[in-house]
Amino acid sequence: MTGRNFRWLGFSLFAGAGAGLLSLTSMINSAFAYGAPAVDSDPPIPFEVMGGSGLPTPSTELVDELQSLYFPSTALFPGQPTFSDVDPNALTTPEQFYPITGVNQLPLDTSVAEGLSILNETIAPSLSAGDPVDIFGASQSAVIASLEMEQLEATDPTAPASFVLIGDLMNPNGGIFERFDGLTIPSLGLDFYGATPADDFPTAIYTLEYDGYADFPRYPLDILSDLNAVEGINVVHGQYLDLTPAEVATAIQLPTSGATDTTYYLIPVNDLPLLDPVRDIPLIGNPLADLLQPDLTYLVNLGYGDPLYGYSTDAANVATPFGLFPSLSDIEMMPGLLASGAEQGIENFIGDFTGSGPNPVDLSLNSLTSLMDSSSGTTSALPDLSTALANFASDPALPLTEFADTLSSDLSTAYGTLLPTADIADAFLTALPAYDASLFLDNLSDPINAIGLPIAADMGLGILLANMETDVVATAAETILSSISP
């Protein structure tokens, strides 16, 4: 895992989170879903809390924080159910994801299968006795929870189970595992499982806008939308508990079609993840990003359909795979939107320098002086010569020992880079062509889709795999640089 933050399937990023929760209206609390509210004398309802990749066992502090945020004992918003009768429990599951959590880790499909078995064993006694259980899943563990729903649908569709999911890769209209349902990448242990069931069990699913795992574009021929979604994996997917109550209160309850037991919430994001690297540029970064963002937002959003929204506005509970083109009516909106967006961008750019823009630039003397101070934050990667000479004089064999240790570490790092790189290359050379062939054969009756869908799939999945490779290389580079630092 590297500083690029590709890693939250990593639920460990939750550790320093802020507070806030949207209304959980019409879901989860078993007292609401399965009869009259519990009284104080009733036994508490088990609430199994799973972590995500990189965090097999959520800490007690984290479970307490989650309880205050996602199943509070007192309502934070009007109409919100409360959960004074639940007993949160940190459930240990593997939560490994090769190569994101390490080269010697389990692949995702194996980790998910083991996690599902553990969850089954944990909740089976309660369900067999007819007692309710609540389950919390985040990212990888949201997949585990979704597969648990599938099993219960097949074996016990009236089981008193409720679910809360965050960053769900199987989100029916946006989850990347549903967008490319049916794809398998054996070399990386990736199975694209399809959609989280929408019926039978009271469930709430929370999604941050532009989270590339849970809110992937519907039309991946829009390369800007793909790039933004993958950058959203890096910088948005780990932010669910960094939100303030005011930010969570802006969440939108998404429309659904027909009867469903699931409530879907979309939490808007103010800035495009794609522009985060631009915003990191000192002084001029925010003004440049604010200049580009209005038009770029419309171009990115077109990958979801309606250019006004960074998510699909169709029914949230309907499993929706990727497609080829947005509707003609959506495309016809673009010229007018781009014209108004250009005007807004120029206004924002100027406003940032005059103090009226969204990100006013600090042009004070102290700010400019600190930017020009190159001495801050810089260190030499080369060992101090005098220290090296002193070490050699005291123990001539010491430099050789240090060299051997460094070489061993670097060889291990090289192995940790080359093995995932080979597996990612294998995905490009075998899994994607096989998936393309299946798309082509399934759409022979429609030549446009038969040719276009494989191209669209390769566009979105290629960018996803390239991002994974970049993360692997960045991890190796960080390891090697740290090994040669004094």
Residues 266 and 413 in one domain: no
**137: which 2 tokens?**
């899943």
Whether 269 is in a domain gets the answer yes
What DSSP designation does 217 have? -
Is 287 inside any structural domain?
Answer: no
**78 located within any domain:** yes
Instruction: Please give the positions annotated as active site.
Output: 139
Quick check: is 186 in a domain?
yes
Which H or E run includes 271?
Answer: none
Domain presence at residue 466:
yes
- Residue 22 shares a structural domain with residue 156: yes
Residue that terminates a domain, selected from 273, 294, 323: 273
Cis before residue 99, ω within 30 degrees of 0?
A: yes
Residues 176 and 31 both lie in one domain: yes
Whether 422 contacts 400, CB under 8 Å: no
The total number of structural domains in the chain stands at 2
Domain that holds residue 400: 385-484
Q: Which CATH number does the domain housing residue 237 bear?
A: 3.40.50.1820
How far is the CA of 21 from the CAs of 65, 66, 250, 406, in angstroms?
11, 10, 10, 48
Residue 306 lies in a domain: no
pLDDT in tens, the chain (486 residues): 333 343 334 443 333 333 333 333 334 343 333 333 334 446 788 899 999 899 999 998 888 877 766 665 665 444 444 566 788 899 999 999 999 988 889 999 999 999 999 999 999 999 999 999 999 999 999 999 999 999 999 999 999 999 989 999 999 999 999 999 999 999 999 999 999 999 989 998 989 999 999 999 999 999 999 999 999 999 999 898 877 767 777 889 999 999 899 989 899 999 999 999 999 999 999 999 999 999 999 999 999 999 999 999 999 999 999 999 999 999 999 999 999 999 999 999 999 999 999 999 987 766 666 666 644 444 444 445 455 445 555 655 555 555 445 444 555 555 567 889 999 999 999 999 999 999 999 999 999 999 999 999 999 999 999 999 998 888 777 766 665 555
List, for residues 350-404, the tens digit of each pLDDT value.
Answer: 999 999 999 999 877 666 666 666 444 444 444 454 554 455 556 555 555 554 4
Cross-strand partners of 190 = 185
Q: Is the residue at 343 inside a domain? A: no
Strand order in the sheet with 262-267: 86-91, 45-50, 133-138, 161-166, 203-208, 262-267, 252-253
- Do 180 and 50 reside in the same domain of the chain? yes
Residue 126 and residue 265 share a domain: yes
Q: What is the pLDDT of residues 320-359, one digit of tens each?
A: 999 999 999 999 999 999 999 999 999 999 999 999 999 9
3-state secondary structure of 26: coil
Interstrand relation of 262-267 and 184-185 (parallel, antiparallel or unpaired): unpaired
Taking a C-beta distance cutoff of 8 angstroms, is the pair 168, 77 a contact?
no
CA distances in angstroms from 300 to 186, 197, 304, listed in the order given: 31, 28, 8
- Regarding whether 27 and 153 lie in a shared domain, the answer is yes
For residues 125 and 379, give the distance between their C-alpha atoms in angstroms, rounded to a whole number.
57
In a domain? residue 427: yes
From 273, 304, 319, the end of a domain falls on 273
**Do 264 and 391 share a structural domain?**
no
Phi-psi region of 4 (alpha: psi -120 to 50; beta: other; left: phi over 0): alpha
Single out the residue in 242, 273, 304 at which a domain terminates.
273
